[in-house]
């Protein structure tokens, strides 16, 4: 979108709805809480408090990474040292090197020296417990997962040397169930699944995002909210994309009501979301 078009859209948002900005984007000030989110957040906080390792899984766009970031952001700095890894198409050696860089060190030439350096670094965190968070874990190779297991075996004390959270989409659990990394699974103490929002929760979510930019809730018809939820399969990220496009479509028509036709048009403009709607 060029600057002239963007400025015109901002003007239309203000004229039609009194909006201070386009909703469903950078204007988000607080996480949206629904029962599934709160349940998963509570369980994750408990698991971290117990220094357990485990799995957090959800469908793409459901809010898994947002939940994870929200939880980690509120951990006490004096209690935990959090290390996050997001690029996961790595070999076993790559995992070790990435961990070394996260800990602020240059990997050693010899693999054994790198492993030793990682262990020494974790033990020098001044009492803070290391928490290694790996997002998009469904992409990790079997050798990379085995390296993580072996790192966990390197401490003979009953106290875990570090905690591990493997976060991934719906492909993560089926992959684990193949049994390729069964020895790692015996060290994982929790499995948390974040459910997508339901129909009523989706409407609440949409209205909350409109309120953040001073748009009235009645700007969007209930049928349009339902259609957004259906097309997104309850995934908030997809609802965000479709809702923004639907609002833009309404603004281009100079109408102050966002209806199902504007959502349908958004689906046609973003056709990869159409199959979800056709399944319902």
- The domain that contains 204 carries what CATH number? 1.10.8
- Which of the two residues, 254 and 118, has the higher pLDDT score? 254
Q: What is the pLDDT of residue 210?
A: 95
Q: What is the DSSP string of the chain?
A: --HHHHHHHHHHHHHHH--SS-SSSTT--SPPP-HHHHHHHHHHHHHHHTT--EEEE--TTSSHHHHHHHHHHTS-TTTEEEEEE------HHHHHHHHHHHTT-PPPSSHHHHHHHHHHHHTTSTTPEEEEEESSGGG--HHHHHHHHHHHHT--SSS-S-EEEEEE-TTHHHHHTT-TTHHHHTT--EEEEPPPP-HHHHHHHHHHHHHHTT--GGGB-HHHHHHHHHHHTT-HHHHHHHHHHHHHHHHHTT-S-B-HHHHHHHHHHSGGGHHHHHT-
How does pLDDT run across 73-86, given as a tens digit for each residue? 899 888 999 998 88
Task: Tell me the mean pLDDT in the region 179-198.
Answer: 86
Same structural domain, 146 and 112: yes
Share of residues in the chain with pLDDT > 90 (%): 48
Lowest-confidence segment of 13-22, 105-114, 245-254 by average pLDDT: 105-114
pTM for the predicted model, two decimal places: 0.84
Q: What is the pLDDT of residue 93?
A: 80
Same structural domain, 203 and 145: no
- Which of the two residues, 4 and 78, has the higher pLDDT score? 78
Domains held by the chain: number: 2
Range of the domain at 211: 3-29+198-278
pLDDT tier, 276 (very low <50, low <70, confident <90, very high otherwise): low
Q: What is the pLDDT of residue 4?
A: 44
Same structural domain, 182 and 50: yes
Same structural domain, 184 and 131: yes
Report whether pLDDT(188) > 70. yes
How does pLDDT run across 57-107, given as a tens digit for each residue? 999 889 898 899 899 989 988 899 999 888 777 777 888 888 888 888 887
Domain boundary among 149, 167, 193: 193
Same structural domain, 24 and 80: no
């Amino acid at each position: 979108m060029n600057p002239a078009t963007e400025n015109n859209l901002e003007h239309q948002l203000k004229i039609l709805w009194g909006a201070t900005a386009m909703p469903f984007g950078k204007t988000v000030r607080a996480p949206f809480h629904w029962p599934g989110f709160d349940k998963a957040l509570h369980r994750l906080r408990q698991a971290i408090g117990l220094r357990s390792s485990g799995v957090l899984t959800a469908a793409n766009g459901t809010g898994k990474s947002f939940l994870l970031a929200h939880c980690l952001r509120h951990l006490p700095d004096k209690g935990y040292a959090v290390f996050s890894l997001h690029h996961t198409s790595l070999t076993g050696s790559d995992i070790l090197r990435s961990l070394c860089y996260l800990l602020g060190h240059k990997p050693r030439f010899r693999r054994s020296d790198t492993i030793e350096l990682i262990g020494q670094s974790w033990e020098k965190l001044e009492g803070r417990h290391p928490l290694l968070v790996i997002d998009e874990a469904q992409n990790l190779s079997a050798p990379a997962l085995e390296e993580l297991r072996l790192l966990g075996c390197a401490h003979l004390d009953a106290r875990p040397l570090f905690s591990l959270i493997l976060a991934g989409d719906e492909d993560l659990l089926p992959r684990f169930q193949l049994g390729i990394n069964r020895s790692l699974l015996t060290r994982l103490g929790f499995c948390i699944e974040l459910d997508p929002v339901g129909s009523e929760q989706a409407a609440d979510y949409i209205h909350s995002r409109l309120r953040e930019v001073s748009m009235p809730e009645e700007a969007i018809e209930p049928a349009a909210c339902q259609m957004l939820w259906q097309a997104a399969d309850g995934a908030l990220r997809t609802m965000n994309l479709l809702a923004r496009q639907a609002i833009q479509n309404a603004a281009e028509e100079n109408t102050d009501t966002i209806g199902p036709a504007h959502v349908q048009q958004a689906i046609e403009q973003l056709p990869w979301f159409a199959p979800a709607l056709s399944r319902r």
